[in-house]
Structure 1
């Protein structure tokens, strides 16, 4: 299971992060939910670890849930949870400190640009208004399984 956060600015741009791996696509802040950890706790932890930011996330900030079928036999299906995070103002971004072992950059991206920079599966979870979570979106992604 993974948990990620949509963080926006007053212009409705998305905060995206770049992994410190060659040729990796941009991502949303977040990561793996650890054993015994809730998705909400994981989103909090990942924001602190990756960005150095404590985000005031609550259960009602749930934005999207996606079930992803394993693409290969022997692999496990996954659940991806996405929370709507806060609107950060320029003064807030001065507090961002990247976790350099995992990330080499962060930036603001207008939604249409973010959709081209993010992995297509991540971009597909971002449906509807970004700054006001309404009813969470549920998606299923099915794959042709390969050996």
Structure 2
């Protein structure tokens, strides 16, 4: 979920999971069985940050090729829905309590810096949050880093 502060900075998190400890991400998580994507992002943000936020809609759908391996241990490609939230007030920001067992770090960053630090799927989703009136679709292929965008 793209969460912004009164200065239009983007909230980024680094999970404690070993395989992603060096990568900044947007707050959120995976959809569990029986829940919708909207419910999943609200649950994950509440658990990660202690905030109950509603979203303003989907800004982007991104597909990212994670691995070109064909074996049983290969990583799965990812489809991400990038939701946007209302801009947080200073009071809301004071209520942020990062979950110490889930998050290694939390950081506010200007949009350009966030674009540089976020992983590919997250950066593509962020890229489209202020460029269109409706959701965008983007693809990133690992082998060539080729990007395909359609609306």
Q: Which TM-score bucket, shorter chain as reference?
A: 0.7 to 0.9
Shift of 1:102: 1.2
Q: Does structure 2 conserve the Cα–Cα contact (< 8 Å) formed by 1:127 and 1:137? A: no
- Aligned Cα RMSD in Å? 2.3
* d(CA) in 1 for partners of 2:100, 2:129: 31
TM-score by length of 1: 0.81
Give the aligned length. 138
| Correspondence for 2:61 among 62, 65, 72 | 65
Change (3 A) 1:43 1:106: same
SS of residue in 2 equivalent to 1:31? coil
* d(CA) in 2 for partners of 1:119, 1:70: 11
Bigger share in strand = 1
| Correspondence for 1:12 among 8, 14, 19 | 8
- Please list every run of 5 or more consecutive structure 2 residues that lacks an aligned counterpart in the other structure: 144-151
Partner of 1:52: 50
- Please list every run of 5 or more consecutive structure 1 residues that lacks an aligned counterpart in the other structure: none
* d(CA) in 1 for partners of 2:108, 2:86: 14
Displacement over 3 Å in runs of 4+: 74-77
Partner of 2:89: 89
* d(CA) in 1 for partners of 2:99, 2:89: 21
TM-score by length of 2: 0.79
